[in-house]
Amino acid sequence: MEMNKMHEGMEHQQMHHSHDPHMGMSEHDHHAMMIADFKKRFYVVLALTAPIMLLSTMIQHFMGVNWQFKGSSYILFALSSVVFVYGGWPFLAGLVSEAKARNPGMMFLIGFAITVAYSYSVAIVFGLKGMDFFWELATLILIMLLGHWIEMRSVMGASNELELLVKLMPADAHMVMPGMVHDVKTDTLKANDVILVKPGEKVAADGIILEGESYLNESMLTGESRPVQKVKGDKVIAGSINGNGSFKVTVSHAAKDSYLSQVVKLVDDAQKSKSQTQLLADTAAKWLTVIALITGIGTFMYWFLTGQTIAFAMERMVTVIVICCPHALGLAVPLVVAKSTALSAKHGLLIKNRTAFENARKITTVVFDKTGTLTLGKFEVSKVVSFNKEIKQDDLIRLASALEQNSEHPIATGILQKVKDLKITIPQAQNFKAITGQGVGATVDGKRVLVVSPGYLKENKLAVPGEYQANDTETVVFVLIDQHLAGYIALSDEIRAESADAIKTLRQENIKSVLLTGDNSKVAASVSKTLGMDSFIAEVLPHQKLDKIKDLQINGEFVAMTGDGVNDAPALAQADIGIAVGSGSDIAAETAGIVLVNSNPKDIVSLILFGKATYRKMIQNLIWATGYNVVALPLAAGVLYSRGVLLSPAVGAVLMTVSTVVVAINASTLKVKE
């Protein structure tokens, strides 16, 4: 059953969080008020249930006493009416709204059951022959209120994970004005404002450090447990916790565009989105509602027509309807969804597509984009070789740096770092042109310079001179000057310490790992062998990555692709599950279903294992929520009546409440394995 229809705007609103971090508080307070309301109704009904039970003829009969007096049935009627209207109000209001929406659900069933019980008992007071069951009505409402109160507290626990994310954003910031520091509300900050962050405080906005340095704890945002050193020019994320230094930050954008706000919105959307499992649970809950009504009325007809009293037949009907409430079923999946989505976000795993996340259990092959995921992505120049005696090594790297100065590519960064170390001045480049997947070209100092991959040489049938020697782990770019091969620059990239562990765990889970890279075969083979991967695909251009993924799918593989989300977008979209890594604050634009804030390959393994654990919890909850009905429903209908086994409406209510609480507790035990 859809969450927000299940309690018709009353109970599960805490799942629908506001996107503004400061609005989130009122949502939370509203939910706390709802819990307080159920608690108050429970205690009032509890106080009234004692006298109702003592005045009930059936209870007196059990106790062997006769406390009837003139008008006692009217007092019983008055007390029960208060219980019915005041205690039953949430259910009656739910019955009306579900009936209006033509979507009968849990509230409809409970409302229907208590209305039948009350109406029949009132008729007895005013002359109909038979036994009233006011005491059953009171205990039924009492247990229902208690169940809702407990369950809402469990649900609140699941949504608290998101509240914690919302609360990461501090309410105030120290804005630096000429000659003074002034405290302002965080949501009034705009781009280019300067704020001061003192030791131990939370960073109030995304931005760049202007002066000062410190270590920041970003674990609640990225899952990275170690404090990260930040110096002038480094990016900081709102919500991270400052260590013992103080620094000034130039704000990058308003609070609503911050990384944290995007994460909260993403988590919120993912919590509201439906996956296949949720749709399955919704369908099951709808059917259970129909079964409850049909079985309830059928039970009444059977007992009444076989000669039982109308009171007995009614009691069976009420018990069947109460036991059949698809409450646990309605909560089975949404509770796990709320918990898993928010927990993931705290570990730097951002779920944008619920179905992709739940399908993680089906993955048979993970395709890794090498640079920056399995390796650190920090290329360092290991050698510069000139094929032409007239061109010095420094000239070669100077000309190459002119072409690379506007590129974000790791190779470009490596070349520029080397130029910086050698204190070489970078010349200007004109007529810049990118050669898709193969390199760049431009005019520098009047010469036409190209910096290209080995693939470009192959395609243009350019022979490599004999003195070319690169080892297996090096990535090489060739420099051409006026169409002549002038030399090459070799760069090496270090493999991440965590990569081998990640690949090993995948193997234990019977998941194949494939390396996909634009790099040369030697480098790919070396990395693949070092890490113990199943296979590698090398020298692929960005547009060919898509075809390689398709080939794997044609062979029956369920493929997860990890990439940096920008040039890998088509391949990520083609994969059964696209995982964008290290894309930081560009989380809104990606084609991937899942975004990993860190580029750590261990996170990919955590994600798959957590996807499996989440799915297990959902299935456990669904089995429990439907299974208990299979056992309890026939007992409620009176199948074993001849053997003396009969469930009262109150026992039915207890069973229903227990099943709901079991589901809530099971969902709350979900954890991300580190």
Residue 325 lies in domain:
3-165+266-342+612-668
Residue 215 belongs to domain with CATH number: 2.70.150.10
Distance of alpha carbon 107 from alpha carbon 324, whole angstroms = 12
Distance of alpha carbon 396 from alpha carbon 91, whole angstroms = 79
Residue 576 belongs to domain with CATH number: 3.40.50.1000
Residue 252 above 80 pLDDT?
yes
Give the pLDDT mean for 173-200.
Answer: 89
Of the candidates 336, 344, 360, the residue with the CA atom closest to the CA atom of residue 597: 344
pLDDT for the residue 47:
93
Q: How many domains does the chain divide into?
A: 4
pLDDT for the residue 467:
60
pLDDT for the residue 43:
95
* Eight-class DSSP state of 232: T
Domain identity same for 48 and 129: yes
Residue 174 above 60 pLDDT?
yes
Asked which of 454, 472, 492 is the last residue of a domain, the reply is: 492
Residue 111 above 80 pLDDT?
yes
Residue 193 above 70 pLDDT?
yes
How many CA atoms does the CB half-sphere of 384 hold within 13 Å?
20
Which residues are CB-contacts of 364 (< 8 A; sequence separation ≥ 6)?
Answer: 510, 511, 512, 556, 557, 558, 559
Active-site residue flag, 586 = no
607 within some domain:
no
pLDDT for the residue 40:
93
Give the pLDDT mean for 137-155.
Answer: 78
Strand order in the sheet with 241-242: 228-230, 214-217, 241-242
605 within some domain:
no
Please indicate whether residue 81 or residue 35 has the higher confidence score (pLDDT).
81
Domain identity same for 640 and 515: no
DSSP-based three-state secondary structure for 215: strand
Q: In 530-571, which ranges are E strands?
A: 535-537, 559-563
335 within some domain:
yes
132, 187, 369, 564: the catalytic one is 369
Residue 432 belongs to domain with CATH number: 3.40.1110.10
Report residue 584's pLDDT band, with 50, 70 and 90 as the boundaries.
very low
Domain identity same for 472 and 548: no
Residue 89 above 80 pLDDT?
yes
Report residue 299's pLDDT band, with 50, 70 and 90 as the boundaries.
very high
Domain identity same for 331 and 403: no
pLDDT for the residue 6:
36
Distance of alpha carbon 507 from alpha carbon 425, whole angstroms = 49
Domain identity same for 414 and 434: yes
Residues pairing with 184 in the sheet? 173
674 within some domain:
no
Q: In 213-341, which ranges are E strands?
A: 214-217, 228-230, 235-236, 241-242, 247-251
Residues pairing with 513 in the sheet? 366
585 within some domain:
yes
Domain identity same for 217 and 366: no
pLDDT one-digit tens code per residue, 588-628: 445 678 888 777 888 889 899 999 999 999 889 888 888 88
Report residue 157's pLDDT band, with 50, 70 and 90 as the boundaries.
low
69 within some domain:
yes
Range in 95-109, 275-289, 351-365, 535-549 the model is least confident about: 275-289
Please indicate whether residue 32 or residue 209 has the higher confidence score (pLDDT).
209
Share of the chain above pLDDT 70, in %: 86
Residue 342 above 50 pLDDT?
yes
Residues pairing with 435 in the sheet? 439
Q: How far is CA 669 from CA 62, 307, 334, 664, in A?
A: 43, 49, 14, 9
pLDDT for the residue 12:
37
Residue 13 above 60 pLDDT?
no
The identity of residue 508, as a single letter, is Q
pLDDT for the residue 674:
62
pLDDT for the residue 558:
95
Q: How far is CA 443 from CA 384, 430, 435, in A?
A: 21, 5, 14
pLDDT for the residue 590:
56
Quote the radius of gyration of the chain (alpha carbons, Å). 34
pLDDT one-digit tens code per residue, 361-409: 899 999 988 666 788 767 788 888 888 888 888 888 898 888 888 776 7
Asked which of 434, 461, 492 is the last residue of a domain, the reply is: 492
Domain identity same for 368 and 464: no
Domain identity same for 365 and 396: no
Give the pLDDT mean for 141-167.
Answer: 72
Domain identity same for 13 and 150: yes
Please indicate whether residue 427 or residue 373 has the higher confidence score (pLDDT).
427
330 within some domain:
yes
Query: What integer best gives the mean pLDDT of the chain?
Result: 81
Report residue 88's pLDDT band, with 50, 70 and 90 as the boundaries.
very high
Of the candidates 255, 252, 250, the residue with the CA atom closest to the CA atom of residue 187: 255
99 within some domain:
yes
pLDDT for the residue 18:
37
Of the candidates 272, 257, 224, the residue with the CA atom closest to the CA atom of residue 582: 224
Domain identity same for 74 and 161: yes
Dihedral angle sign, alpha carbons of residues 356, 357, 362, 366:
positive
Give the pLDDT mean for 414-418.
Answer: 87
Domain identity same for 189 and 245: yes
pLDDT one-digit tens code per residue, 522-532: 888 888 898 99
Give the pLDDT mean for 238-264.
Answer: 85
Asked which of 224, 257, 290 is the last residue of a domain, the reply is: 257
Give the pLDDT mean for 251-272.
Answer: 78
Please indicate whether residue 422 or residue 5 has the higher confidence score (pLDDT).
422
Tokens of 410: 């790791």
pLDDT for the residue 22:
41
pLDDT for the residue 265:
76
Highest mean pLDDT among 189-198, 449-458, 651-660: 189-198
CB distance 478 to 488 below 8 Å = yes
pLDDT for the residue 59:
65
Residue 25 above 50 pLDDT?
no
Domain identity same for 411 and 310: no
CB distance 552 to 559 below 8 Å = yes
Give the pLDDT mean for 283-294.
Answer: 83
Range in 284-288, 368-372, 492-496, 499-503 the model is least confident about: 368-372
Give the pLDDT mean for 237-259.
Answer: 86
